[in-house]
């Protein structure tokens, strides 16, 4: 079977930068995203960097089980075995605690927690036990610290962190490697939230953050970095 790396939230920002570095490293890549126009643009960029490797894309809302089945079908049909899974998709929301609604909670949890669980489950089921699989759960420093006006977002990220730790415990002793990544704020579309303006000019460059992540993930086979926290210098 051909090896491939899957990146959720791969149409822009950190996910796209990770995909680009993987392509340049000779990896086959499949990016997932909800917006077909953004997927097309991202795929065109990645294919320019590809040589004999693949740069593929697939429309997918990772919080939707039917879409996850489509990813599974795509991988099976094309005889791909996932080598690296980058759970990168997420959704931000920054409001006061007394403004929370059910719809807000569902949208943030779907992108930042539920989707991570569903996609990981699907990939685990497809990957033969004898094949090595590295799962990279990209969360946020908001999974480490409680922050004002981030109650829903922190709750989702803390949940993702708990899932990651439990997953690591469950898969210990197998060929499944779990890497937890906690990046601080980056200059991406993540912050373009209607009605919420935030100055991100001093935030980190996603390309630089992607380089740190990929360099630590693609280490020699006898080594494994388990946790990565990335912050900008004060």
Calculate the alpha carbon distances from 8 to 14, 23, 50, 96 in Å: 10, 15, 19, 28
Q: Whole-angstrom Cα distance, residue 231 to residue 234? A: 9
Is residue 9 left, alpha or beta, with left meaning phi > 0 and alpha meaning psi from -120 to 50?
A: left
In angstroms, the CA 182 to CA 168 distance is 16
Res 33: pLDDT: 96
Average pLDDT, the chain: 93
Measured distance CA(153)–CA(141) in Å, rounded: 11
Q: Note the pLDDT tens digit of each residue in 149-188.
A: 889 999 999 999 999 999 999 999 999 999 999 999 888 7
Token digits for 25? Answer: 């490293």
What pLDDT, on the 0 to 100 scale, is given for residue 197? 65
Structural domains of the chain ordered from first start: 2-230 (3.40.50.720)
Evaluate if residue 234 carries a pLDDT over 80.
no
Per-residue pLDDT, 3: 97
How large a percentage of the chain has pLDDT more than 70? Answer: 96
Residue 63 confidence class, pLDDT cut points 50, 70, 90: very high
User: Which residue has better confidence, 229 or 201?
Assistant: 229
> Is residue 193 pLDDT above 70, yes or no?
no
């Amino acid at each position: 079977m051909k090896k491939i790396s899957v990146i959720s939230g791969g149409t822009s920002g950190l996910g796209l930068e990770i995909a680009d570095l993987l392509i340049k490293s000779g990896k086959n890549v499949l990016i997932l995203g909800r917006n077909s126009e953004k997927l097309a643009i991202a795929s065109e960029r990645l294919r320019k960097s590809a040589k004999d490797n693949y740069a593929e894309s697939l429309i997918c809302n990772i919080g939707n089980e039917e879409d996850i089945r489509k990813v599974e079908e795509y991988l099976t049909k094309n005889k791909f075995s996932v080598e690296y899974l980058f759970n990168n998709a997420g959704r931000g929301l920054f409001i006061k605690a007394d403004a929370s609604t059910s719809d807000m909670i569902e949208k943030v949890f779907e992108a930042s927690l539920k989707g991570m669980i569903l996609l990981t489950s699907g990939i685990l089921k497809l990957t033969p036990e004898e094949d090595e699989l590295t799962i990279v759960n990209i969360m946020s420093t908001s999974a480490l610290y409680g922050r004002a006006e981030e109650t829903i977002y922190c709750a989702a990220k803390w949940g993702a962190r708990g899932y990651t730790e439990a997953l690591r415990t469950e898969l210990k002793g197998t060929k499944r490697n779990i890497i937890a990544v906690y990046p601080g704020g980056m200059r991406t579309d993540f912050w373009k939230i209607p009605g919420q303006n935030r100055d991100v000019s001093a935030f980190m460059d996603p390309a630089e953050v992607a380089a740190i992540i990929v360099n630590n993930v693609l280490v020699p086979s006898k080594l494994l970095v388990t946790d990565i926290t990335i912050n900008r210098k004060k």
